[in-house]
Amino acid sequence: MTPDRFEDHCWKDAVPQDLIDLYAPYARETFVGPKPALLCIDFYNIVYRGGAKPPLEIQDEHPNTCGMYAHASIEPTKKLIAAARMAGVPIFYCTQDFRPMNRPAGVGSTKRQKVAWKKEDFDIYEPLAPQEGDVVIYKQRASIFQGTPIISHLNYLGVQSLIVCGESTSGCVRASCVDAYSNGFHVSLVEECTFDRHELIHKINLFDLHHKYVDVMHLDEVVQHLGSFSEGKVAAE
């Protein structure tokens, strides 16, 4: 997307004009980089539980749910994953590490009050489930890069840039995006396939990430770009 549409995103109604003006030096063209992989951050069962309702109404019964925000992203995310598959782009998922004896006490992805989770709680939500040939990364902290082999996998596949979607915008998506940027990858974060538990925190974190570290892009732009791969219009070199 061209620089004049740099602020054409969901945070428009939440960010005051003086802040937009203050961040003017970050405006630039946004794009999907060469040889991308798709990262699907934490699409596990618990964030969809309780249905398409405001999280505050259902979180007592369904801790960590993203409710209506999770459900609104299901169809867009299906489209994104399908486009990536069609284009032959490697697809990575991540979820909580449940392997035996895997950590000392006190290791978690946030400081939220602990719940006695089961492994099934962190299986990938079935409508978005990985297929054979995809890679699932088991992580213990917020970022998909922290304490995982993902960089060696990306190098093995010759991946040079990343398309990211997932949840929560303020937590694991943000941490993963900052680490991806710090490790030298161009990141395209897909707005419609990313969500959190509250609109405000979602928008402000997207605003931060977009200006400083990643290109927040719309689903249709990214899908159109991936479509050009399968039509052979993009010479991958």
Partner 1 sequence: MQDEMNHSWDPFLTDRDKAVFKASGFGATGGFGKRPAILVIDINYAFTGERREPILESIKHWSNSCGEDAWDALPHVQKLLEAGRSKGLPVIYTTGVRRPDGWDGGSWLWKNSRGGERKQTRDTQARDGNEINELIAPHPQDIMVYKQKPSGFAGTPLLSYLTLLRADSVIVVGTTTSGCVRATVIDAFSHNFRVAVMEEGCFDRSQASHAINLCDMHAKYADVVSTDTVVDFIDSLPDGLFAATAPQAAE
Interface with partner 1 by CB under 8 A: which residues? 99-107, 135, 140-141, 146-153, 156
Question: Could you tell me the smallest distance in angstroms from the CB atom of residue 154 to partner 1?
Answer: 11
Contacts of 222 (CB under 8 A, 6+ apart): 32, 80, 83, 163, 188, 190
Helix (H, G, I), strand (E, B) or coil at 229: helix
Of 39 and 58, nearer to partner 1 (C-beta) is: 39
Structure tokens at 148: 């995982």
Min dist. Cβ of residue 113 to partner 1 (A): 14
Q: Which is nearer to partner 1, 162 or 216 (CB)?
A: 162
Q: Which is nearer to partner 1, 31 or 122 (CB)?
A: 122
Shortest gap between Cβ of 165 and partner 1 (angstroms)? Answer: 23
Query: Distances in Å between the alpha carbon of 145 and those of 71, 114, 141, 148?
Result: 26, 23, 9, 6
**Min dist. Cβ of residue 155 to partner 1 (A):** 8
Q: Which is nearer to partner 1, 35 or 141 (CB)?
A: 141
> Is the Cβ–Cβ distance between 68 and 59 less than 8 Å?
no
Cα dihedral sign, 49-58-66-174: negative
Cβ closer to partner 1: 16 or 104?
104
- For the bound state, the minimum distance from the C-beta of residue 235 to partner 1, rounded and expressed in Å, comes to 26
Distance CA 40, CA 105 (A): 27
